[in-house]
Amino acid sequence: MRIFIFSFCVSFFTCLIIIRLGKQNRAILDFNLGPQKVHIGKIPRIGGVAVEVALITMGVFFLIEKRPNYDLIWKIILCSLPFFIIGLIEDVTKRIKANYRLLFMMLAAILPFYLINARLIRSSIDIVDKALSFWLISLFLTVIAIAGFANAINIIDGLNGLSGVISILFLGGIGYISFKVGDLALFSICNALIGAMLGFLVFNYPGGVIFLGDGGAYLIGSIIAMLSILVVIRNDNISPWFPALLLIYPIWETVFSIYRRKWKKKSSSIRADNLHLHTLILKRIVMENNSKNDAKEIVRQNSFASIYVWVFSSWPVVLAVLFWNKTVILIGGAIAFIILYCVFYRSLIKFRTPKWLFLSNKTNRSLNNPE
């Protein structure tokens, strides 16, 4: 509990400092420009700094207390640092192209492969496991997994509280299973990260007065990817499909986005657009039933849309935690999510959203005119 509270406080007060600095420094502000922007005004977009400061502080805390495997958190900090730095540079300069950032992260993902042994080596599928026994194939797929997931968290970071709450769900799932199997080192790291994310979320949801930014999204995404690989590597009784189902929402969102951009729209697979699931939920469900367009109402709609995505993406987390060692059920859950996602996405894009998903008039009035 001390780890959680300490991490929360460090992140909370760092966010306060960043918000204050944002009033004096345009370089750290996010403007309502671009296809994925759904906010009003100028908002500090380096909330990831608060998470990084909390993480480093916890590393010092672990070192002073000489906790078991205290060196692991420092190795994870070192491995995630390049992801944070490239994202932070983009947050401040806004000049690094997406393909350059992705290439840099793929190179950075080589470090955890060797430094903390974060390697994809088993899948419970014989032919795949034989392929993964070759280090070059394992290295390639590990690099894709870590860099890809870091980018995936950035993709879903489009609404107030969306990526923050979902990241906490992921960390909670990994932390709980780590505790269940006796891996207290990973449990402590997850605990510290949850505290850091909650310290940030106080300001990010629902008001949206600070954003995670590319640096924060890449940081938390890369760490979750590393922890997901480590929890399987360090504990043979955990199915390799546990993290696959746990993290299925951002993974499939990324894969599906590449598909619709590259093959459906014949455009760049990494070009930003406003056709992600969370954006469609905001525009086709929440905004559809609201006529007001003032700044406060847009912030409320933005935050309310996150709830839809939390609910939609939370059931795979629950299923993964309940059946963490049941490979067949985990694979079935992943397939079921993909099917449900495609059906739901198609209903949104075709303007055939089920009526029960829309806000009732009573709820609508409450949302528009809060007491």
Q: Compute the distance between CA of residue 219 and CA of residue 51 in angstroms, rounded to an integer.
A: 8
Q: Tell me how many domains the chain contains.
A: 1
Q: In this structure, are residues 79 and 116 in contact, taking their beta carbons and an 8 Å threshold?
A: yes
Query: How does residue 39 score in pLDDT terms, banded at 50, 70 and 90?
Result: very low
Residue 46 in this model has a pLDDT that exceeds 50: yes
DSSP letters, 222-291, are HHHHHHHHHHHHS-TTS-THHHHHHTHHHHHHHHHHHHIIIIIS-S-TT---S-SHHHHHIIIIIGGG--
Q: How many CA atoms lie within 13 A of 233 on its CB side?
A: 17
Q: What is the mean pLDDT of residues 94-110?
A: 93
Residue 225 in this model has a pLDDT that exceeds 80: yes
pLDDT at 292: 57
pLDDT at 368: 43
Sequence-distant (6+) residues with CB within 8 A of 369 are: none
Task: With H, G, I as helix, E, B as strand and everything else as coil, classify residue 57.
Answer: helix
Q: Compute the distance between CA of residue 158 and CA of residue 156 in angstroms, rounded to an integer.
A: 5
Residue pLDDT, tens place only, 255-291? 999 888 777 665 655 666 678 898 898 888 887 655 5
Residue pLDDT, tens place only, 320-354? 999 999 999 999 999 999 999 999 999 988 888 77
Domain span at residue 64 reads: 2-368
**Amino acid at the residue 281:** I
pLDDT at 2: 84
> What share of the chain in percent tops pLDDT 90?
64
Global pTM value: 0.90
Q: Count how many residues are written for the chain.
A: 371
User: Please, which contacts does 311-320 make with residues 24 or more away whose CB atoms are closer than 8 Å?
Assistant: 312/249, 312/277, 312/344, 313/166, 313/169, 313/249, 314/169, 316/245, 316/246, 316/248, 316/249, 317/169, 317/170, 317/172, 317/173, 317/246, 319/245, 320/173, 320/242, 320/243, 320/245, 320/246
Q: What is the mean pLDDT of residues 107-123?
A: 95
